[in-house]
Amino acid sequence: MEAKKYLKNYAQKADSVLDEFFAEKKKEAQAISPIAAGMIDRYRQFMVGGKKLRGAEIKLGYELCGKRAGKEVIKASTSIEIIHSFLLMHDDFMDQDDLRRGQPTSHKQYEKGHTPHFGLSMAVDTGDLGMFLAYEMLIGTHIPPKQKTAAWKILNETIIEVAYGQALDLHYESRKKVIEEDVLRVHTHKTATYTVTAPLQMGAVLGGASKQKLQALEKFGRPVGIAFQLRDDELGMFSDEKTLGKPADSDLKEGKNTLLFVKALELGDKKQKKFIKYAHGNSNLTVKEVEKVRHIIIDTGALACSQKLGRKLVEKGKKFVPQITKDSRHQETLYSLADFIIERES
């Protein structure tokens, strides 16, 4: 199936089980306090509008074992979507972002009528809550404990890797010189496993996959996962606020380390390099200056470099598809998914 269609179908099913789950959690929270119930509402609201790529991959990973994903698997698959919102909430606080998916970020919402520190505290606490809600969803599924524990193990190890990746990202941001290797190291640990390999493997262990299949999924997922982040960085620089749901210059102004900046600094002439250095991490840039950075990224060939590497990585991953499954329909979905990851516009 075409990836876009697959994601759309999945999102509908996922939203339905998520609504049910959050309604139940809200009842429990209400019994404690309206404050607790409010957290549940905000969390659910925060989840609206994502691509739900990772959840869909859990479903796909399960189907790769030749099984039809019923409601319990859909429920289990949404655990990673719930976790994803927790990661975004904490990320937004660390990046000091104001907008996410077109809404004020969690800490910005909570600070209304309170202090900024209260906003940050509540965003972190709500994120913490969400992480455990994610596991609550997984725990509550009617899946045999052995498979459930196996999926739990993968998800848990993955988030540990994400936490390391996040720390690297935070540290590198305050470094003077960051090289391609550093950028790809962050992409690998913060994004790649978590975005492609882990969800596919989670679905696969729920479906009782063989070791060989799990290994093949990793060989597919690792390069494709890095390509996902390269595309994210391209969109973060060249898309528009409406599509992104946040300012299209925030990566630049926050001084995010992306391949685009590393390559522009490597390939640019003296003047271009100087301007990139001036602009990267400068929160006071004018619209014109941001536009100038875009031009430099294009003119130096930095954008082409990123796109070329993304395509190369996706093609590398695709080679392993025949090792994952012999079923031509599933192969088609995996190929389409890999392409979607670097061709998507949001």
The one among 3, 39, 56, 237 contacting a copy of itself by CB under 8 A: 39
**H-run or E-run covering 256:** none
Q: Which of 1, 94, 99, 179 binds a copy of itself (CB under 8 A)?
A: 94
Q: Give the whole-angstrom CA distance, residue 230 versus residue 256.
A: 12
Quick one: which segment of 101-109, 143-151, 192-200, 214-222 binds a copy of itself (CB under 8 A)?
143-151
Among 170, 241, 295, 346, which residue sits at the site for a copy of itself (rule: CB under 8 A)?
Answer: 170
Q: Which stretch binds a copy of itself (CB under 8 A): 101-109, 159-167, 212-220, 238-246?
A: 159-167
What's the rounded Cα separation, in Å, for the pair 339 and 317?
10
**CA 95 to CA 92: how far, in whole Å?**
5
Q: Which is nearer to a copy of itself, 75 or 318 (CB)?
A: 75
* Rg of the chain (C-alpha set): 20
Q: How many residues does the chain have?
A: 346
Residue 173: strand pairing partners: none
CA count, 13 A, side-chain hemisphere, 43: 35
Name the helix (H) or strand (E) containing 99.
strand 99-100
Binding mask 173-192 for a copy of itself (x = CB under 8 A): -x----------x---x---
Q: Is 171 in the site for a copy of itself (CB under 8 A)?
A: yes
Q: Which stretch binds a copy of itself (CB under 8 A): 34-42, 221-229, 238-246, 313-321?
A: 34-42
> How many other CB atoms sit within 10 Å of the CB of residue 166?
17
Between 95 and 234, name the residue whose CB sits nearer to a copy of itself: 95
Integer Cα distance of 262 and 273 in angstroms: 10
Residue ranges in contact with a copy of itself by CB under 8 A: 29, 32-33, 35-36, 39, 90, 93-94, 96, 114-115, 117-118, 120-122, 124-126, 128-129, 131-133, 135-136, 139, 144-146, 148-149, 152-153, 156-157, 159-161, 163-164, 166-168, 170-171, 174, 185, 189
